[in-house]
Amino acid sequence: MEVVTDVPYGLHGERNLLDLYLPDESSSPRPLVICIHGGGWSGGGKEAYAWMGESLVSNGFAAASVTYRFWPQWLCPAAIDDAKRAVRWLRASAARFGLDPARFGAIGGSAGGHLASHLGLTNGGEESAPELAAYPSRVQCVVDCYGPVDLVYMMRSASAPIVEGFMGVPLTPATEPAYRQASPFFLIRPGPPPFLILHGTRDDGTQPGDVPVEISVAFHEKLREVGGDSTLLLLEGAPHGFCGDPASEHTQRMWAAALTFFGRHLRA
């Protein structure tokens, strides 16, 4: 395995870096999984998902672990734009790294799940360099781990101050359209890519940083309503943020399901 760290994909220094995990040389381009860390859109780092990158390589994939701009310095949609730019940059660099640009998936936890879901449901909207404009930012499948995909509903939870900080404005009738535009839940259209959604039953929105489990249930149901291939896995007793501990039984169950999902949707 080759690991290439701190690769710049954008214009914002340390906030626009990614780490690449690449299998040994092969005769055919490899499918890629983009891993996006959580942290309330204001913290965390790409190193948190190094274990994902290493495991993906051992299972025949390439991986990119991405970081992005944080609030309060940068407000929404900066993080969303960065995630999209990273995908565009990776597609533009596919030949250089032996990647198959037609087989890109994404996985994220918490804020990373929110960003990964945007990659599956939207294309464009970011301020890309002209040389990246021809490359799509949508991915072919998504694993969403307890992502706050409905920011309007999140304002009923103990995480409301985090969401308001990310958005930069309180939720009012006048600002609700912006909250909806930043919410993958409200951007679902017919023909979404396959989704695997995972959420712990102890993640109930009563603690700051939590994401109420009913958000993932509603997201799954809405994807299915428009004909999407969506699978929901509720992990009994799992708290918010369990992906941060790769040794936990909840993470191991999640990862087994994720590898099966990526194998089904990204292998040629």
pLDDT in tens, 128-145: 678 898 899 999 999 999
Residues 6+ apart with CB under 8 A from 33: 52, 56, 61, 62, 63, 64, 104, 105, 106, 107, 262, 266
Beta-strand runs (E) in 2-53: 2-8, 17-22, 30-36
Average pLDDT over residues 31-35: 98
pLDDT in tens, 178-210: 999 999 999 999 999 999 999 999 999 999 999
pLDDT, position 77: 96
Peptide bond into 130 cis (omega under 30): no
Neighbours of 27 (CB within 10 A): 5
β-strands 62-66, 141-145 pairing: unpaired
pLDDT in tens, 202-235: 999 999 999 999 999 999 999 999 999 999 999 9
Neighbours of 191 (CB within 10 A): 8
pLDDT band, residue 127 (cuts 50/70/90): low
Q: Taken in order 1, 139, 248, 224, is the CA torsion positive or negative? A: negative
In this model, does residue 245 exceed pLDDT 70? Answer: yes
pLDDT, position 28: 83
Please give the single-letter amino acid code of residue 65. S
pLDDT band, residue 268 (cuts 50/70/90): low
In this model, does residue 40 exceed pLDDT 80? Answer: yes
Chain mean pLDDT for the chain: 95
Take residue 194 and report the two structure tokens written for it: 């396959």
Domains along the chain with CATH numbers: 2-266 (3.40.50.1820)
Portion of the chain with pLDDT greater than 70, in percent? 97
